[in-house]
Amino acid sequence: MRSISDTISRLQQGRARRWPGEVQHPSRLSEMHSFGTNPGALRANAYVPDVLAPGAPLVVVLHGCTQNAAGYDRGAGWSQLADQEGFAVLFPEQQRSNNANLCFNWFVPDDIKRDCGEALSIRQMIEAIVNSHGLDRKRVFITGLSAGGAMTSVMLATYPEVFAGGASIAGLAYGSAKTIPEAFDRMRGHAGPSYVDLPALVQSASSHKGPWPSVSVWQGLADHTVVPANADSVVSQWRGVHRLKATPTRSEVIGGHERRVWTDAQGRDVIEQYSVVGMGHGTPLKTKGEDRLGTAGPFMLDVGISSTRSIARFWGILKSEPGDKAKDKLAATAPKAVPAPTSGSELRVGIDPGKHQPATRLMNNTAPSGMEGQPNGVKEVIERALRAAGLMR
C-alpha cells in the first residue's frame, strides 16, 4: 500500500486544480427534482427526445471526477445519439458536499451496498424516469468514466436484475477498495482482490442468480491515472460471473485498437474489451468524419473511435449506422474478425488469471509524426491481423 502522506498529497493536488471540465456550456439536460428519498444526495438530470416511441431503451451515464453531467454529455455525445436512435438518457450527478472532486464514491461502503447511499439514489432515479416515460425495463443500460466507470461496476453488481448491459471506461472492479488510500492503490494497480476472488464480490452483492448483464470494458493503454491492469480486473470479475474461459472467443483490430470478445454458451457476445493504443485517461471519441460524435476536451479524447457509438452498438440499441449503403457495397471485401490467438502470434500476451498481474501488449510505443499517442507499429499490427485472417500475404 502507498503511504498515507502520498495519498493526501494527491488529494490536495486534485483539489487545488481549476478543472476545465467545470466550464459552463449550454446544457441539453433537464433536472429531475423528485425521484425518491435520495439517500446519496445526488442530483438527477435527463434527456428525453421530443419524439420517443413507447418502450424505448434507457441509458444511464455517470461522469468522471471533476466533471458534471452536462459537460460529460457534451463531450461523449449521448444525447445526440439519443435523438438519432430513439432512447432516453439519465445523468446522475455528484455534488461537492459529497465529494470535493465530484467523484462518485465508488469506494465508500455505505454508498456501494444495495439499497444504500449513492447506489440507491441512482436506482431511484432509474425507477422514476422509467415510470414517467414508459421505458423498457428490459433495456436499461449504464456506463461511466473513471469514478463513474467504477460506480458503473457498483450498479451492475448491486442491481444486476435492473440492467441488460453496462460499459466501464477507465473504471475499476466492484469491491476492489473500501477506503481512500485503497482506492488510490487500486487505481495505480497495487494489491487488491485476486482474479479468483473478484467474481464472488459481485455474486454476494445481491441475491440475484442470473441472467447477468453484458459488459463492455474500455481502457487507454497509456493511462497513468487508472492503469490498464484495472480493465483486466473488470473483465476477469465478469468473466467469472458469466463462467467464461480466460481465452476470448475472438479478437480483432479496429482502427488500430484491439477488441477482444467473449461469448456465452448460447453464442451471445457478453463481454468485450477495447484496448485503446496511445490513449491516456479519458473517454475515446471520434469527432471527425461521417460517424463523428461528441466534442473533444479534458478527459474527452479524440482517438478516432467513438466509445459512445460502439457501446450502443454492443448493447444492440443502434437502429442504423452512418454510411450503411456504402458499407453494404464493401461487405464482400471487408476484413473478418481474427480468431483469438493461441500461440506466439498473439497481439496480447496473457497471464495466469489467478496471479493478478497486468497483461503485456505487444505494441510498438513510438509515435510517428502527426499521430500523437499512436504507435509506429499500428500498420504492422493491422497487417499481422490481415495475414492471420488469410486476407494478406
Catalytic residues: 146
For residue 121, CA distances in Å to 1, 110, 362 come to 31, 12, 42
**In this structure, are strands 360-361 and 88-93 parallel, antiparallel, or unpaired?**
unpaired
Phi, psi for residue 53 in degrees, rounded to 5: -65, 150
d(CA 302, CA 292): 10
Which residues 6+ apart lie within 8 Å of 316 measured at CB?
Answer: none
